[in-house]
Each structure stands twice: as C-alpha cells, then as structure tokens.
Structure 1
C-alpha cells in the first residue's frame, strides 16, 4: 500500500470499530489498535511483559514435572539410546513448529491464537470450518492439560507418602479426590486479577529454574549407582554408565521394530515440550504483544529443548534397572527412579521440588486454557454456553467463568482414573495429538495454500518461513498415527493394553464434525476478521513505532 492507502485504511478501521458493537472509546495504545484491527476490543489489562509471558509458558511446559509425568514413554519404548539421541531428532521439527507459531502470533496477536489464524488463512468460504476444527482440537488439548498435570502431581504426592509410610497403598479414589481438590485450588488462583497471577507465576518460574538446576547437579553428584550390581550382567557398576551403553542401548517394549518404537517414544517429548503456545493465548494481556509474545514462544521452546535434553541425558547415564522402575509398586516412575539412584532423603527432596513445580505447572495450564475458552466463547463456539463463558469479571478483569467452566469439564475427565492406568494415561497422548493437530492446521495453510491471507508481523522467519513450516507440518502428519498405535499387537493386544487415544480423540472430532455438518455451519461464522490490509497496516505501524 502507498501512504494514501494507509491513511484510508486508518479511517476504515476507526469507522469499523465505531460501527460495530465495540465501545465508542477508540483504542489508545498500539496493542489495543492492533487488537481492534483484528476485530476485538481490549477487555484484559496488559500487565504481562516478556518475562511474565515467558514465565507462564515455561510453567505450562514445566520441564521437571512434565518429564516426571511421562518418562515412562521414553523408558518403555526406547530405553537410554532413544532417550539420548531421540530427543535431538524430535526437537528439530518441534522447534520448527514453535517458530512457525511465533510467526503467526506476531501477525495475529489475539487470545484466539491458532483458531483465529486458521480462519484468516483458510481458502475463501472455508474460514469458519477451519476455525471450528482447529478451535475444538485446541480446546480438548487445553482442558486435558490441567487434569493430566494434576493427576501426575497427585501420583507423586501419594508416592511420597508410600515412601515414608510403606504400609500405605494409594487407591483410585484417593488419587481422584486429591487431584480434584488441587484443581479447585488452582481454579481459585486463576480467578485472581492478572497482576496477582503474573506475580505468582513469576515465583513459579523461579522455582522451576531452581528445581531444574538443583536436580541437574544433585543427581550426578549424589547418585548411589557406583558399587551396585548390574541386574543384567552381574557386573559392578560405575557412578555413571558408559557412553556406548547409553547411546547404543534400545529398550523396545513394543511388538514393533526398533525404529517404530523410537518414534512412539516421541510421545513423551511432544508432551513435555507442549506449552510454548501459551504465549499466543496470553497476547491480549501482554504489552508489545506482536514482538514480546512470539519471542516468548521461541524462548520457551529453545530453552526447554536444551534443558529437557540435559535431564534425559542425566537419567540415561544414571538409571540402574529400567524394568524395576517401570514395575515399581510406587506406580510413579520418577519417584521409583529417584529412589533407585539417590539416598532416600535426597530422593524425597527432589520429589518435593518436582511436586512444587507441578502445582505451578497445573495452575499455568488453567490460565492458558481459560483464555482459549474465553476467546472461543467470544465468537459463540460453545453455543448456548457462550454467553456465560465469555463474561469477563468486572473486578478482576479476568475470564473467571471460563476458568470454572474448564475446571468442571476437567474434573469430569478425571473420572478416567477409575478406568485403570491405561485409561487415565490416555489423557497425555490425547493432549499431545489434539495440540499437534491444532498447530498443524494453520501452519499447513500458511505453507501450502497459494495466495493465502498471511500478512507477516514484525517477528517473522523471512524466506525460511515456508520450509520451516513444511517440516513442522510433515512431522505432525507422521506422528499423529504413531501416537495412536498400541504397544502390543495380534493376540497380545487386549482391552487392558489397547491405546484408546484414537477412539477418544477420533470420537470427539467425529462428533464435532457432525455437529458442524448438521447444525453449527448454519450459525457459526468464525472469529471477527477485519480486512487483511487493515490488519497488516495496523500491525506494521505498531512495529515501526516499537523499533
């Protein structure tokens, strides 16, 4: 556009903003103007900066508690070899996905995130459908986040009780009740004003970093591995395993070839590394959002990737007996591993730090999930419930109703506890698949649809945007069917070891698709999208002033 076109666009956006149901007060900051250009008014206070936005994302990722929750995938499917180099292989496309999301976030910094981007980038006439499918897939990922994290948190707490009181055995009702209570506490915290939440998450971020570094240093220094007998060879072990043993050993706990088994172990990496998109959903509460939010996404994924690999390496070099960890009566692999390689007091100390980090992680998941629910309800995705869910509390200026709506659904999901270990563990892979599909839809349209409506923001990948996005989308296409595979096949496959992920997620998305076909397409119009040129101009103008 030339300068006259830009001036005309400024008039259009002001007139559009006044003529809709938005308030007559014009947006005052560049962030508010950019949001208005995307079709929404400013309702939240922008009290998050780069550090606090990164803090929430890093807390949602929660490297230490995340690893403690899903380390069984790496141990079961790949062993030390897959843990050591498999993480590096998986991190390359995962980082590509994160960078592609950051580019979309800079272009369209709204709480709707992926859902909004899908509507913008879809071919003419398909915007509402693309937003519908992306939004519901992302929402199922968000609402499974807090229950899965808090279930793992409860399991660690009860494992700690079992360690100190050997006669106690955790039961499913105990786990369910404790998890539900934790979720209610976190929901209460998530209903507080943004400034208070930002402060609390700042402390949570510091705890996360402190716990990570303490764990990284304590385990190698305090390990009791030296002098113990190797259960496989009968030889006396050193303080750490040899590199040939670590990098060359595959523990294939599946009926598939080693290559497929290693790919299946990526489920753990994907789940551990999820959470970087939280910055996207917090962009309406972030100052200088079209620069700070994408930076927070990339910071979260890159820092998380490096530190996460270090944790994997430490476990791979110090673990004594994988089978004993997996079959422990504690029913919590991280706790069993710590007891195997550390004195009991040191193991309990690391477990306590993990529990503290896990609480902040679950609470951060609630914050991100509530912003997603609010953004979708704002565009009436929840049908008759939208009027309730989209209300912003007048005192706290936060989406309190969305917090409690997600919490209620999350507690219902927790009933899977009574279906046994495989049933409740399905929420980890369901969340991974749902998030990856939601990531892939807008990225794929950005990459593969010619003449898409993408207008880059101030943070972008330049000429590498499409190749990077293509690699990320290809990884998702590969991993979705892999994450649905059961570990056993043929006569060894039964209801108890079946992977129910494809049934639960597939059933959910089938219902959503049928709802669209027979009803929703009549009334759902997607997010409020203004003219692309207006969006581009407003964001470009905000960028130029911020440089």
Structure 2
C-alpha cells in the first residue's frame, strides 16, 4: 500500500503541527517520524485522530452545541444541586453555600481550562488516560495511564447510578407529597433505580445521531427548567418576609459538623465538585465531534463557565428563601430538595418545580451513561479490562459501543444494591464520583505542568503563558480536597458506622486493589494506549527525497504500544 505524503495528513508540514520540529513529541502515541497508512483522503479530524494512533471508527455527528448539550446534561445543575443539597446546606448553612460555591469555582474553572488545553492537543475518547500516558516521563507512562484510567473509570461508572438513585428518591418523594400515607421503602427505590438504568442503557445504545438529538433536547430543557426555577421560587415563595436578610445569608455559618467553620465550608465543596465533575464529557466524545480540536475544548470551558455562574444563582435563591435548615435536612420525605420546596412554596408550585427537576434528572442520568460508555470503550480498546475484546466492540448497526453500555448498566445495578444498606452507604457514591473524577483530572494536568513544561505540543486552543499557573492552581486544589472529601461530619464519640464517611474505603479500596494489581502483574503487560492504525517508521520524505532506507520495511499494526513516548 502506498504511503500518502500529501494532504492525507502525513506531509512534512502537517506532521510538524502534530509532532513539533524542535522537541520530542509529547502529544502523540506514534513516535516521531511514524506515518499512518490510509487508502483514502482524510479530513482534518481524521488526520488528527490517525496521528494520535487511532482509526476513525465513529461518525462525527456531534457539533459544538450538541457536545456542550451532552456535557451540560451530565452536569445537570438543577438535579445535581437537588441531589447534593444535604452537603452544602447541611454542613455550613447559607454562608457555606454562597461562599463555598464562589471559592470552589475558581480552582474548578482552572482545572476545566487546563483540561481543555489537553483536549485540544489530544482529542481522543481516551481523554485524560491517553494524556497521562503520553505526557509522563519515560518509563512512567503506563503507570500514569493505569492510575488515571481506573480513577476516572470508577468516577464515570458511579455517575449514572448516583443520579438515578437521587432521581428515584425524588419521584417517590413526589408520590409521598400527594399521598402522605405512602412511605417509600429501600426495595422500591432500588427497583425504580434499576428500571431507570435499563432505560438509560437502551437510549445510550442508539445511533450517535439519535443520542446527540436526545441530549440536545434534554440539555435545552435543563436550561429552561433551571431558569424557570430561578424565577418561580423568588416570585412564588410563601415566606413572610419573602427573603432572609443579607447579613444572615452571607455571614451566618450554621456549622453542623464537629470541625471549625473553615473546615465545614471546605466540606461543602463535595456538592460543588460532584456537580461540576461532568465537564470532561466533551473530551470523551471528541472522536464523535466535528472540528474536535476546537469544539471539544470550547465545550469543556463553556460547560464549566455557564454551570458555575448559573449554579451560584441557584445557591443564592435557596439561601435567601430557606427558613428552617434543620427541618429540610431531617424531613421524613428523605429528600432535602423536596422538603425545601414544600417549606417555601405551595404544594402545587412545589410539585411543579420537583417535576421539572425529575425530568432534568432523567436527562442527566442518560448523559452520564453515554459519557461513561465512551470511557469504558476507550479503555477496553487498550485492553485495560478483563475480556476487553468484548467491551471494545462497536455495534455494526448503531456504530456505538453497545457492549460497553451494557457492562456499565449491569455494574450500575450492582452498585445500587447499596440502597438496601441505607442512605449513608448509597451516599458514598456521591463522594466517590467527586474524588475519583478530580484525582483523574489532576494527574495528567500535574504531569503537563511539572514535568513536560514547554515541550508540550499545544493544539489550536491553548492557555499560552498562563498555562502552568492555571494548571498548578487546579492541582493544588485537588491535593487539598482529597482528605477533606474523606472526612465524616462528626468525630470521637459521636462517630458511628451510620455516620461514617465511607469514601476512603469505597474509592480507596478499589484504587489500592488496582495498584497492587499493577505491582504484581499488570506492569508486565500493560503498556498504555494501543495503536490501532497501520503505520510506517520514518517514511516521511526528507527535503523532498525519500531514501530507500526511509521506505517502510516493517508495517506495525494494532499491537504497537506506547512504550517509548
């Protein structure tokens, strides 16, 4: 087969954009001088993905808007806030809510921008895992990819189950409001959650175009419902006076933990971090996005920016209208958002807002399932899992990773068995999602900032000279929050198994297990992302001349590994 050396993506000029001329390449799995083979003309997106070592397997039917829609649906501000209201309001009251969100959003936005820069340089569904592999110092790429991939995957697969559990609780809370004699049981919540997971799995297995349309509609509804909520609650509140005094909202920390006020405010960040952990979705959808090197990073920053501003407005609305925090947290409804709505609105208005939240939560859960399935596919493509040959298959009819969707759905159902152990056990899913995702975010960013430096080959979207400063702030924030997210709300004699924060065990346990697996066995065979394009070594013409020794004598295929990046 003839090696293309013109506009197919292997010319010297286009190659220098990807690999760089003066420094060793740190954004591609193909070694400097490798040339992908192709028997057809490639567009810009396919040239980039081929240079990163992968065949174009998905249809690029996501645009900037539809990619943003999936990401914003995964973010799900309204249902996310409703699901985590216990942490923001319950740990530090109204002052903790409004100040906590502002403080946390600054470093979170730094992480989003640093991630967007990586996405522009390496727009592949492997995302953070791929970036960690190719940016790490020689010899450490596989380990960096292994830890990043597993932490990210744990966070991803807990996303849909945690959202669907909260959604089920809201649905049954709505039933309890209309029928006060009805008290939901854990079995009923589990069965409803399982049904929703199955529905989300079916939708996520549809062709890419249909999935994009569904998420576009869902995200649009999310935005409309959020705006409606921000308007309706202040306008229709039954409080007299309507709003709490500003000095109480901003200055009163209702500390319901055993820690100092500063620590209590930091503990409220779990709600912010869990809410804002979905903006990496465009990274994982980049192989299905048109103009991915620009559109995907823009979608990441848009999601984090829009989500941060609108989320803070929602915090303000609730902080200025809530009248009894203890009643909201300890309500028999078992769902603080529903309790809050009944406290400040008429029953009819409360059910209306709760209904909007439920619809948004359904859309959010589906977005989480889509994003998680693409991550599972990407990791299975590189043989990270047992039986990866099954999970990495792309369905020929839908051109989507149906087997990966099924795997995530089954695992989600098993995780939701924690519902039967009580609210504290199932609540660990929220903390796991927060800590697992942000640790995965921080690893490749830290490598890029502290080890790669100016050898980083930037994509068309980048941060310029501010890149190391912005990335450094994000990494330091994660280092601070990892122990904070593992703290229980009470200490000493008040600490019982029911009040224990099990995040350190439920996230730390699997991570310890995969680390041991690496030391004992995986380091012998796992070498990072796997190239699945046919390519040649040093087949690029030099000064217009293609020496005989530069002609390909060895065609490497799908087994090529990232052992020397």
Q: Is this a same-fold pair by TM over 0.5?
A: yes
Q: Which residue of structure 2 lines up, in the alignment, with residue 241 of structure 1?
A: 244
Q: Which residue of structure 2 lines up, in the alignment, with residue 67 of structure 1?
A: 81
Greater Cα offset, 146-155 or 519-528: 519-528
Asked if structure 2 preserves the Cα contact closer than 8 Å seen for 1:111 and 1:371, the reply is: yes
Quick one: structure 1 residues 147 and 369, their matched pair in 2 at CA, closer, same or farther if it must change by over 3 Å?
Answer: same
Which whole-Å deviations, capped at 9, do the CAs of 1:264-291 have from their partners, x for residues lacking one?
A: 0000011111110000000000000000
Q: Which residue of structure 2 lines up, in the alignment, with residue 126 of structure 1?
A: 140
Question: What is the distance in 2 between the residues matched to 1:163 and 1:181?
Answer: 22
Question: What is the distance in 2 between the residues matched to 1:277 and 1:331?
Answer: 31
Question: What is the distance in 1 between the residues matched to 2:112 and 2:302?
Answer: 10
Q: How does the TM-score come out when normalised to structure 2? A: 0.89
Question: What is the distance in 1 between the residues matched to 2:433 and 2:425?
Answer: 13
Shift of 1:514: 0.7
Which whole-Å deviations, capped at 9, do the CAs of 1:404-453 have from their partners, x for residues lacking one?
A: 11111111110111111110001000110000100000000011115575
Question: What is the distance in 2 between the residues matched to 1:454 and 1:519?
Answer: 31
Quick one: structure 1 residues 40 and 493, their matched pair in 2 at CA, closer, same or farther if it must change by over 3 Å?
Answer: same
1:17 paired residue among 36, 44, 50: 36
Quick one: structure 1 residues 243 and 36, their matched pair in 2 at CA, closer, same or farther if it must change by over 3 Å?
Answer: same
Secondary structure, counterpart of 1:41 in structure 2: coil
Say whether 1:476 aligns with 2:495: no
Say whether 1:403 aligns with 2:414: no
Question: What is the distance in 1 between the residues matched to 2:408 and 2:424?
Answer: 23
Q: Which residue of structure 2 lines up, in the alignment, with residue 344 of structure 1?
A: 347
Superposition pairs of residues 136-151 of structure 1, within 5 angstroms? 136-151=150-165
Q: Which residue of structure 2 lines up, in the alignment, with residue 457 of structure 1?
A: 459
2:120 paired residue among 106, 118, 123: 106
Secondary structure, counterpart of 2:278 in structure 1: coil
Secondary structure, counterpart of 1:78 in structure 2: helix
Q: Which residue of structure 2 lines up, in the alignment, with residue 172 of structure 1?
A: 186
Question: What is the distance in 1 between the residues matched to 2:299 and 2:156?
Answer: 19
Bigger helix share: 1
Q: CA RMSD of the aligned region, Å?
A: 1.9
Q: Which residue of structure 1 lines up, in the alignment, with residue 204 of structure 2?
A: 190
Q: Which residue of structure 1 lines up, in the alignment, with residue 63 of structure 2?
A: 49
Quick one: structure 1 residues 26 and 453, their matched pair in 2 at CA, closer, same or farther if it must change by over 3 Å?
Answer: farther
Quick one: structure 1 residues 249 and 112, their matched pair in 2 at CA, closer, same or farther if it must change by over 3 Å?
Answer: same
Which whole-Å deviations, capped at 9, do the CAs of 1:191-232 have from their partners, x for residues lacking one?
A: 000001111111101110110011000000000011xxxxxx
Q: How does the TM-score come out when normalised to structure 1? A: 0.91
Q: Which residue of structure 1 lines up, in the alignment, with residue 335 of structure 2?
A: 332
Question: What is the distance in 2 between the residues matched to 1:46 and 1:314?
Answer: 39
Which whole-Å deviations, capped at 9, do the CAs of 1:255-311 have from their partners, x for residues lacking one?
A: 000000100000001111111000000000000000000000000000000000000
Shift of 1:4: 8.9
Secondary structure, counterpart of 2:363 in structure 1: helix
1:294 paired residue among 290, 297, 301: 297
2:509 paired residue among 503, 507, 510: 507
Q: Which residue of structure 2 lines up, in the alignment, with residue 375 of structure 1?
A: 378
Asked if structure 2 preserves the Cα contact closer than 8 Å seen for 1:122 and 1:452, the reply is: no
Q: Which residue of structure 2 lines up, in the alignment, with residue 498 of structure 1?
A: 500
Which whole-Å deviations, capped at 9, do the CAs of 1:356-398 have from their partners, x for residues lacking one?
A: 0000000000000000000000000003x20000000001000
**Gaps spanning 5+ residues in structure 2: where?**
1-9, 20-30, 539-565
Q: Which residue of structure 1 lines up, in the alignment, with residue 554 of structure 2?
A: none
Secondary structure, counterpart of 1:196 in structure 2: helix
Quick one: structure 1 residues 411 and 453, their matched pair in 2 at CA, closer, same or farther if it must change by over 3 Å?
Answer: farther
Shift of 1:27: 5.7
Which whole-Å deviations, capped at 9, do the CAs of 1:162-184 have from their partners, x for residues lacking one?
A: 00011100100000000000000
Shift of 1:25: 3.1
Say whether 1:80 aligns with 2:99: no
Q: Which residue of structure 2 lines up, in the alignment, with residue 225 of structure 1?
A: 239
Question: What is the distance in 2 between the residues matched to 1:201 and 1:409?
Answer: 23
Question: What is the distance in 2 between the residues matched to 1:292 and 1:249?
Answer: 42
Asked if structure 1 preserves the Cα contact closer than 8 Å seen for 2:381 and 2:530, the reply is: no
Superposition pairs of residues 512-527 of structure 1, within 5 angstroms? 512-527=514-529
Shift of 1:528: 3.3
Q: Which residue of structure 1 lines up, in the alignment, with residue 557 of structure 2?
A: none
Number of aligned positions between the proteins: 514
Quick one: structure 1 residues 162 and 447, their matched pair in 2 at CA, closer, same or farther if it must change by over 3 Å?
Answer: same
